[in-house]
Structure 1
Amino acid sequence: MPTATAAAHWLRRRADNVVVALLATMFTTFILQIFFRYVIDQPLGWSEEVIVTVWLWTVLWGAAFVIGESEEIRFDIVYSNISEGWRRIFTVITGLVLIIVYGISLPAAYSYVSFMKVERSAYLHIPINVLYAVYIIFAVASIVRYGFLVLRAVKGTASPQTNPSELRD
């Protein structure tokens, strides 16, 4: 029977695979766009739509599932130079604020994404709700992630290190 840690590791690798596929798609489309525009002199209209959509998915998917806590953006000058107790307090405050903000935005975002099923993208005719659904995934994953961080901080678990000289693999 696989452990929860093994399952989490497997899921993390699959999330990494999704980002790799998205980046490969974006890069390939970009190279095709250059080739068709400058070599064949036949610009591809759909390529920009693919690149922008894949970039949006890459950023939000990566932020939700790939970026580790130690890689998050913080005010490192302050955060790295305060005591562990204050780090946990900052983690609880920022975690609760983000949970509230994402929680408040989620119903409106879901309503908007659901409504956009009537619109289609200009070139590929993909329903817009499919293109923007990644925000809903991102918001839910962020709420869960920050919920765990707040619980860990309240229990007294050490905060993630952000000082590059202190990071361990």
Structure 2
Amino acid sequence: MMKTISTWFRHGTEAIAASFLAAMFITFLLQIFSRYVLKTPFGWTLELCLILWVWIVFFGCAFLVRENDHVTFDIFYLSAPRRVQKVLALISAAAIATGMLYAFLPTWDYIDWMKMRKTTTVRNPLDGNKIPMRTIFSIYAMFMLVVAARYIWRFVGVLRNGPPETDHELPGHDHEPPAIQEGDEVV
């Protein structure tokens, strides 16, 4: 049951992100058409592209990017024994979750303050009003909470099951280096 919900959630978030990308692409094409064919650029297209980009980045990072999609500098982590890997995984998960939660309230305070500022050209299609910047940047607050929750979950998982095997697996990499025996050639 949980796997089915997870699959539907993943497909739903992928569809949302894809629709954001499609909307941004169509807006970009409209911007080119208005500028070079009509010779009258639409001001709102640039602002809408920027708004969509902010949402694509933070929505995608919150819900779509997996741990093994990140670039990691893990030479020391991979060369460490399993117990040290567990400690390093716990420290990193705790640091990321703590940092996000610690910064959340001041960040939300600033995002909430941005309700006074509104978009320059983009208007809400339902009521015609300019969109508050708080609405636009609220995705960052969601990103912070989701990332904190992911790393709290990761911390608990590492505590229960040890460091993950799959996030940092390299082909042909053994956790323990092979012992050199007498008669082996050093290359």
| Alignment TM-score, normalising by the size of structure 1 | 0.88
Q: Percent identity?
A: 24
Aligned to 2:60: 62
1:78 to partner: Cα distance: 4.1
Cα distance, 1:35–1:75 mapped onto 2, change above 3 Å: same
Q: Relative to total residues, which structure has the larger helix share, 1 or 2?
A: 1
Equivalent residue pairs, number: 164
Q: Distance in 2 between matches of 1:45 and 1:157?
A: 53
Match of 1:118 in 2: 116
Residue identity in the other structure for 1:138: F
Secondary structure of 2:121's aligned partner? coil
Q: 1 CA distance for matches of 2:169 and 2:161?
A: 20
Deviations 1:70-118 (A, max 9, x none): 1122114444444443333222111111111111111111112222212
Structure whose alpha-carbon radius of gyration is higher: 2
Distance 1:54 1:149, change over 3 A: same
From 64, 88, 91, the equivalent of 2:89 is 91
| Alignment gaps of 5+ in structure 2 | 123-129, 173-187
Task: Kindly report structure 1 stretches of 4+ aligned residues shifted beyond 6 Å.
Answer: none
The separation in 2 between residues aligned to 1:64 and 1:85, in whole angstroms, is 29
Q: What are the ranges of 5 or more consecutive residues in structure 1 without an aligned counterpart?
A: none
Asked if the contact 2:89–2:163 (Cα under 8 Å) also holds between the matched residues in 1, the reply is: no
Q: Which deviates further from its counterpart, 127-136 or 157-166?
A: 157-166
Name the one with the larger strand percent. Answer: 2
Contact (CA 8 Å) 1:76, 1:163: kept in 2 or not? Answer: no
Other-structure match for 1:17: 15
RMSD: 1.8
CA distance in 2, matches of 1:101, 1:28: 37
The residue that corresponds to 1:40 in the other structure is 38
Task: Tell me the residue number matched to 2:179.
Answer: none
Q: Kindly provide the amino acid, as one letter, of the partner of residue 23 in structure 1.
A: L
Aligned-residue offset at 1:142: 0.5
